[in-house]
Structure formats: structure tokens, C-alpha cells
């Protein structure tokens, strides 16, 4: 079994602090904007290693990135001052949010629909509130050229017409 290095102490502290904030219920006392900034800084940048635009001409995480007719709360991608190659847009919600499927006032869509639109109307690797990624053929081919084993885990997207009871029609 391969050896996995233990997490650095500062990473463990950040994750433990976040878990305590959630389990204590204190997270519900903090506004969404404050939570978003803290999550970006302490978890996405410090623990996961993404770089912010502060002091960097090329960076990998940004808040309030323009996308479609709005802006997404948190963006992961290859970003510069003039270009945004967005890989994963995130719509962050506060701990008091109870129903992600409720229509948002003035927007005529749910929070899930908004996040899905951001993800599916973006070029390249896409995700939207799920554990699966949708990539285009060009991206798939690049990944398989880098590592041929990628072919084993990159599966075709199946639509309703591709499915029959208990089997895939391909």
C-alpha cells in the first residue's frame, strides 16, 4: 500500500476549526459573505493550495468571477487579469439556506438551476452539484494522451435515449 504523508498541522487545524464551527451550530450565526471569504482563504487557498489574484498575475481561484449574465461566488481555473479559463464554478450558500430548490426572488430560478447554468454554459471541464464531471472530447483525448489509464475512468455521457431497463444501449 502506498504511503500517504500526514496532513500538515496548519491544514488539520483549519479543517478541525471548520468542523467545530459546523458541529457547534455557530456557522449559522455568520453571514454567507463572511463564510465565503473564510472558506476561500483558509480551505481553498491554504489547505488545497489554490492561488489567489493577490500578488499573482496568473492564479487559480477567484471570488465573484463574471460568468454569463452574473458572477459566480467562487471560481477554480486558469485565470489571468484578462482571461478566465473556468474549470469549476461554485455557488456558495450560507448555513441558514434550507432549500436549494426554492425559486430565488427576482431570478425566476432555483439556486441549483443557477449553479447548473454556470457549469453547463462554460467551456472545458464542467461540474454542477454532483460528483461527476463532463468533459469534451478534446479534453478527454488530452488527458488520455498524458495518462492512458484515464481511458478506464473516463466514460461516455449517457442520455435518456441511451438507457434501457437494466442495461445500456450503445
Evaluate whether residue 165 is within a structural domain.
Answer: no
- pLDDT bracket for residue 158 (50, 70, 90): low
78 domain residue, yes or no: yes
Do the domain assignments include residue 90? yes
Q: What is the pLDDT of residues 36-75, one digit of tens each?
A: 999 999 989 998 889 998 888 888 899 988 877 778 888 8
Q: What is the pTM of this model?
A: 0.64
Tell me which residue range forms the domain holding 95: 9-134
Whether 52 contacts 58, CB under 8 Å: no
Instruction: Answer yes or no: is 152 within a domain.
Output: no
Does residue 144 form part of some domain?
Answer: no
Computed over every residue of the chain, the mean pLDDT equals 80
Count of domains forming the chain: 1
Q: How far apart are CA 37 and CA 13, in angstroms?
A: 18
Q: What is the pLDDT of residue 161?
A: 59
Give the SS3 label for residue 99: coil
Amino acid at each position: 500500500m502506498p504511503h500517504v504523508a500526514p496532513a500538515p498541522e496548519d491544514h488539520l487545524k483549519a479543517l478541525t476549526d471548520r468542523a467545530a464551527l459546523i458541529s457547534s451550530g455557530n456557522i449559522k450565526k455568520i453571514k454567507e459573505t463572511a463564510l465565503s471569504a473564510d472558506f476561500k482563504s483558509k480551505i481553498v487557498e491554504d489547505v488545497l493550495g489554490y492561488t489567489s489574484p493577490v500578488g499573482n498575475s496568473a492564479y487559480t481561484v477567484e471570488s465573484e468571477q463574471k460568468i454569463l449574465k452574473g458572477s459566480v461566488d467562487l471560481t477554480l481555473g486558469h485565470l489571468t487579469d484578462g482571461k478566465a479559463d473556468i474549470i469549476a464554478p461554485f455557488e456558495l450558500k450560507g448555513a441558514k439556506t434550507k432549500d436549494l430548490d426554492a425559486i430565488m426572488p427576482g431570478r425566476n430560478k432555483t439556486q441549483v438551476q443557477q449553479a447548473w447554468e454556470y457549469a453547463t454554459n462554460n467551456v472545458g471541464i464542467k461540474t454542477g452539484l454532483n460528483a461527476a464531471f463532463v468533459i469534451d472530447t478534446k479534453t478527454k483525448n488530452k488527458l488520455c494522451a498524458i495518462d492512458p489509464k484515464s481511458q478506464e475512468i473516463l466514460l461516455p455521457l449517457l442520455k435518456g435515449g441511451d438507457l434501457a431497463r437494466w442495461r445500456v444501449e450503445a
